[in-house]
Amino acid sequence: MWLLDKMLRPLIRQGRLVITDHDGTVYDYGDPSAVPVRIRFTDRGAALHVAKDPRVGAGEAYMHGRLVVEPPHEIRDMVLLVMGNGSRPGATVQAPSMLKRGVDAVAWRFDQFNSRVRASRNVEHHYELSRQFYELFLDEDRQYTMAYFRDPANSLERAQIDKKALIAAKLRLGPGMRVLDIGCGWGGLALYLNRHFGCEVLGVSLAPDQVKFAQERAEAAGVTDKVKFQLIDYRDVTGPFDRIVSVGMIEHVGARYFREYFGRTFDLLADDGIMLTHTIGRTGRPGTTDKWTRKYIFPGGYIMALSELQTALEDTGWRPGDIEILRYHYAYTLEQWYRRTTQHEAEITALYDVKMFRMWQFYLAGAEQAFRTGSMVNFHIQSVKRQDVLPMTREYILAEASRLSALDEAPEWHLERKAAE
């Protein structure tokens, strides 16, 4: 415990953390007047496992029951407390050794080799979990990307509708347009665009079950002549398209392949077309993907800096139409996903096991912290080939997004879920 104590003593300044080691020894950190978040280690080596590699070690210790958060608090409280202190200005965080940084950098670079086979395998690692699992915590439309909270008090369902409205507004759609949806998920956005604009949409993905489910949704809606889904790499798609949209997909391309991605989409888009890229981004300089995320959540994934995207766009002929930085929206989204995940502990444990449930909790809590007090945001990058395809000001975006948002009522998630059960 001495190593972890050495790390936490100068780190925890806001809030209070109380740790009970396996032998009953109590360690108290932070503000003595604050309500403590209490955790307990259940075996001799747990504290050292955390200290050697805190982000990975803490997650693994929690997954395997070696780190227990005492009620009434839960793992989210611990993650927000510890990582929030690590993100505050002037925080003292013990830096990893030069050797460890070097090894991690090499591992990350290897992880970024996303060949076609490997890209498909990486996507299946995360997205081929069962439909029932995702249905337990996503909104009714199964949007597994940032929701757009026009009001932080809005429901997740309302915010996801508003997200789709915002994306559609930036695409400036019209009847008969041909739209490519790269990384189409469970098909919700493609069906939304067709429903409101009558456009033809091709959704492509490397996740077999997502494509199958999206096709089933199109069949149920009676729009298979207009909305199609294919299990295909975006690099193998043939165009042209009037509009291209990519929501939460480019994070899986890999840092080495941004130019290839934007070069291929440039070739696929009509000269008077518009493309919108919706992605997680970092507010600082380019970096690497942390070991926990690479190992357990998104192998091959990378969160890029705006400079990396802008350079790739410039190198492939694109012109910027509009760039918006969306702050905090994903934090609110992840908080609601975490709450719903926790409500369904029994079902998730039955589908998989308790380790999977705890891993998912830790993932969502850590991601929320990164968007709440860390360096993560979302980017909306609208790119064009010709600048004259867009209006002089961006007032059209708010006007159209508001019009579209008013067309759909948000379903009551708890009522519909209860009725379904």
pLDDT tens profile 241-263: 999 999 999 999 888 899 999 99
For residue 225, tell me if it sits in a domain.
Answer: yes
For residue 165, tell me if it sits in a domain.
Answer: yes
For residue 101, tell me if it sits in a domain.
Answer: no
Which residues of the chain carry a pLDDT beneath 50?
99, 101-103, 105-108, 112, 122-127, 415-416, 418-421
149 and 76 housed in the same domain: no
Strand order in the sheet with 37-41: 26-30, 16-20, 37-41, 67-69
Spatial neighbors of 143 by CB under 8 A, at least 6 apart, are: 160, 163, 164, 185, 188, 189
Count of the separate structural domains present in the chain: 2
CB 335, CB 312: distance < 8 Å? no
144 and 292 housed in the same domain: yes
Residue 285: per-residue pLDDT:
93
DSSP one-letter code for 236: G
For residue 109, tell me if it sits in a domain.
Answer: no
Q: What residues make up the domain containing 53? A: 2-87
194 and 323 housed in the same domain: yes
Q: What is the pTM of this model?
A: 0.90
For residue 93, tell me if it sits in a domain.
Answer: no
Give me the CATH number covering residue 386.
3.40.50.150
179 and 251 housed in the same domain: yes
Strands 241-247 and 178-182: parallel
412 and 290 housed in the same domain: yes
Distances (CA, A) of 279 to 26, 300, 305, 378: 43, 15, 10, 6
From the CB of residue 33, how many other CB atoms can be counted at a distance below 10 Å?
Answer: 6
Residue 94: per-residue pLDDT:
57
C-alpha span between 114 and 70 (Å, rounded)? 41
For residue 98, tell me if it sits in a domain.
Answer: no
For 336, the enclosing helix (H) or strand (E) is helix 329-343
CB 231, CB 203: distance < 8 Å? no
8 and 133 housed in the same domain: no
Residue 55: per-residue pLDDT:
85
177 and 326 housed in the same domain: yes
131 and 278 housed in the same domain: yes
Residue 111: per-residue pLDDT:
53
